[in-house]
Structure 1
Amino acid sequence: MIKFCYLAIFLILVHHLVAVQSINAAAPKKGVSRNPADFLSLGYYLKKCPEAESIIQQKVGAWIQKDFTLAASIIRLHFHDCAVRGCDASILLNYRGSERAAYVSSSLRGFQMIDDIKETLEKKCPRTVSCADILTAAARDATVFAGGPFWEVPFGRKDGRISIAKEAEMVPQGNENVTALIQLFKAKGLDILDLVTLSGAHTIGRSTCGPFLNRLYNYNGTRKPDPSLNTYYLKLLKKRCRHSTDLVYLDVITPRTFDTVFYTNLKRKAGLLTTDQDLYSDPRTAPFVEAMASQPFLFENQFLVSMTKLGNVQVLTRNEGEVRVNCNYINAR
């Protein structure tokens, strides 16, 4: 395992170098097919709305100061958005039959924060800053306020006009196997390293007991607990999960600290969700878990790379989509 861990560290460093070079690369030459993310830029709002980024940062900080758990909620909301139709703010659309209205989205939070930011930006720069850009930047700022790394967010995303409740089920719910997760990430242009790294966002945040109750009482229909679950952790979870709606921290040791204890927990068989714990039992992902657990700087550096990649998934740019006036509804035509 040690040999594979060193190999994983080497691959992470190479991946990080290639990703950074890609992010900083010059725009493709004329005639070359361009990825929509190529039209995003760090200076997109420099003249249109120069205070946009600082307004988002200040608002996110104020909300998290009132309720620290919102940091994880905003990161999760961003992931749910990008996992369906790309990062187009479709998760924010609020009407019957939308992703937001789906049962699997019922535990999502942070919508009021985004509405607050949008309202302020509309007063400052009407019809300029998209909800997709707001959510992407808010996820970055939430990470920083939680103690995680900072990264530059390129802007220019447009908001989508379509949101379908059934599609919200594409987002992992905590019981998928590693193969299914790898396939989902691959479809979004993300790889195994991104999967392991972005799962590390569970270093903060909470989950309702519903998604993992089967691990406590009836794992795979055996009427017994999941044998891979740490015995002491099992007893703790049974005490805290009286109802499926009860909340427990994803990282039982340092739930309010953005660190690598999440990965250490997996090695101790104290991963809360099946999707998390399986990362350490699957040979394709285990070496990366080992590397992250033993080298915190690798996690932080790779997290900013993977989050940048996530924020660029299937974005709408230029004449695609729109800039919503209200993040909850598409613009009137």
Structure 2
Amino acid sequence: MKLAVVSAVILVVVFVAWPVSAGGYGHEEEEDDTKSWFPLDNLLSLNYYDKSCPNFEKIVDNKVRQWTKSDPSLGPALLRLLFHDCGVTGCDASVLLDHEGSERRSPASKTLRGFELIDDIKSEMEKSCPKLVSCADILAAATRSATYQLGGPYWPNAYGRRDSKNSYARDVEKVPSGRRDITGLLETFQSYGLNVLDLVVLSGAHTIGKAYCGTIQSRLYNFNATHGTDPSIDPKFADYLRRKCRWASETVYLDVETPVVFDNQYYINLQKNMGVLTTDQELVKDPRTAPLVKAFAEQPAQMFRHQFAVSMAKLVNVGVITAEDRIGEIRNVCSKSNSRPY
């Protein structure tokens, strides 16, 4: 109980400290407020394209709006694509490279989507700002734009990333799967420079989007020698999932209550044992994460939205390559390295 209270107090402090919301998106005076505290690591800059490509974010926003209008599922897809990129070798657009043996060709990446949208943005960018904007920066900007357009929060993006020249399918195993335990997840997040709060908050991206039923069938039909169904799932919810997931190729909303609203319902669902993925439900069972889940479930949704922005601003800075590193490039086409024939 004491830990839960402490966690709630921490969240209140973070909420007060974060001055920018989705409602302020596009207002320069509110964005300026973030510059006093935003960590500018790795030579990234909030003003990186102000002179060289001043319409960069406008181009991204317009393209994302066009694509998500016809396919709203691309918003959650971009969040997942970004996480898979940053979770392998850092936010370096390595997941976008498309060649034999690349991350993109890994079986674990076969359900990733959003590549065509990123390619379209890059093509448009080359007309306005040729050879200036990296695919890694485009992916970071497009993900924020899509999240905001779904009703999610705004966060400041610093730019100046370079694109990786390499991509290896074997590295995809670094990305947390939906079956990993909390200790394994925490170890992975800590290797990114993130913490337990970031883990709980970024898991909240499951407030939108879907999961393939193949990822949860073992929870429903073959959990262990004693139980066919994972006993931690609410029985009525388990019945619902079994009806929805007769085939592995089918999909189910990760938040069945408010599936297209960016809110804190995901955490409320976890409190009711209605987590879809194993990793979702583990958050409410582990004493290191359960108090945070409880706090986000009980506090106003705006609390989660603000902290999600804070954690995303940290995530997009993980393992970036900059000009000073001299090992990256600005790709002409996001799916191909300029310097490596395939």
The DSSP-based 3-state class of the residue aligned with 2:249 is: coil
1:323 aligns with 2:330: yes
* Aligned pair partner of 1:301 in 298, 301, 306: 306
Q: Could you tell me which residue of structure 2 aligns to residue 72 of structure 1?
A: 76
The DSSP-based 3-state class of the residue aligned with 1:39 is: coil
Amino-acid identity (%): 47
* Aligned pair partner of 1:181 in 180, 185, 197: 185
Does the aligned pair in 2 maintain the 1:16–1:305 contact within 8 Å?
no
**Superposition deviation, residue 26 in structure 1:** 8.6
Q: Could you tell me which residue of structure 1 aligns to residue 7 of structure 2?
A: 8
**Deviation per residue, 1:206-242 (Å, 9 max, x gap):** 0101111111011134351000001111111111111
Letter of the aligned partner of 2:330 in structure 1?
Answer: V
The DSSP-based 3-state class of the residue aligned with 2:322 is: coil
* Aligned pair partner of 1:262 in 247, 263, 266: 266
Q: TM-score, with normalisation over the residues of structure 1?
A: 0.93
1:312 aligns with 2:324: no
Distance 1:173 1:221, change over 3 A: farther
Q: Which range moved further: 51-60 or 3-12?
A: 3-12
**Superposition deviation, residue 4 in structure 1:** 3.0
Letter of the aligned partner of 2:198 in structure 1?
Answer: D
Query: Whole-Å Cα distance in 2 between the matches of residues 275 and 326 of structure 1?
Result: 35
**Superposition deviation, residue 24 in structure 1:** 3.3
Q: Could you tell me which residue of structure 1 aligns to residue 198 of structure 2?
A: 194
Query: Whole-Å Cα distance in 1 between the matches of residues 315 and 15 of structure 2?
Result: 14
**Superposition deviation, residue 14 in structure 1:** 4.3
**Superposition deviation, residue 79 in structure 1:** 0.5
* Aligned pair partner of 2:48 in 36, 44, 59: 44
Does the aligned pair in 2 maintain the 1:12–1:193 contact within 8 Å?
no
Does the aligned pair in 2 maintain the 1:173–1:211 contact within 8 Å?
no
**Superposition deviation, residue 10 in structure 1:** 1.6
Mapping for residues 195-274 of structure 1, pairs under 5 Å: 195-222=199-226, 224-274=228-278
The DSSP-based 3-state class of the residue aligned with 1:224 is: coil
**Superposition deviation, residue 62 in structure 1:** 1.1
Q: TM-score, with normalisation over the residues of structure 2?
A: 0.91
Letter of the aligned partner of 1:24 in structure 2?
Answer: S
Mapping for residues 15-30 of structure 1, pairs under 5 Å: 24-25=36-37
Q: CA RMSD in A?
A: 1.9
Unaligned runs of 5+ in 2: 20-32
Letter of the aligned partner of 1:153 in structure 2?
Answer: N
Letter of the aligned partner of 1:309 in structure 2?
Answer: K
**Deviation per residue, 1:4-54 (Å, 9 max, x gap):** 332112223445678999973498xxxxxxx8x341111101111110111
**Superposition deviation, residue 88 in structure 1:** 0.1
Query: Whole-Å Cα distance in 1 between the matches of residues 192 and 62 of structure 2?
Result: 31
Letter of the aligned partner of 2:268 in structure 1?
Answer: T
What count of residue pairs does the alignment treat as equivalent? 324
Letter of the aligned partner of 2:83 in structure 1?
Answer: F
**Superposition deviation, residue 98 in structure 1:** 0.4
Distance 1:208 1:294, change over 3 A: same
Mapping for residues 136-175 of structure 1, pairs under 5 Å: 136-175=140-179
**Superposition deviation, residue 182 in structure 1:** 0.3
* Aligned pair partner of 1:88 in 68, 92, 111: 92
Q: Could you tell me which residue of structure 2 aligns to residue 32 of structure 1?
A: none
Distance 1:232 1:240, change over 3 A: same
Query: Whole-Å Cα distance in 2 between the matches of residues 14 and 180 of structure 1?
Result: 28
The DSSP-based 3-state class of the residue aligned with 1:266 is: helix
Distance 1:288 1:223, change over 3 A: closer
Query: Whole-Å Cα distance in 2 between the matches of residues 180 and 16 of structure 1?
Result: 28
Query: Whole-Å Cα distance in 1 between the matches of residues 226 and 122 of structure 2?
Result: 49
Query: Whole-Å Cα distance in 1 between the matches of residues 150 and 34 of structure 2?
Result: 27
Does the aligned pair in 2 maintain the 1:251–1:261 contact within 8 Å?
yes
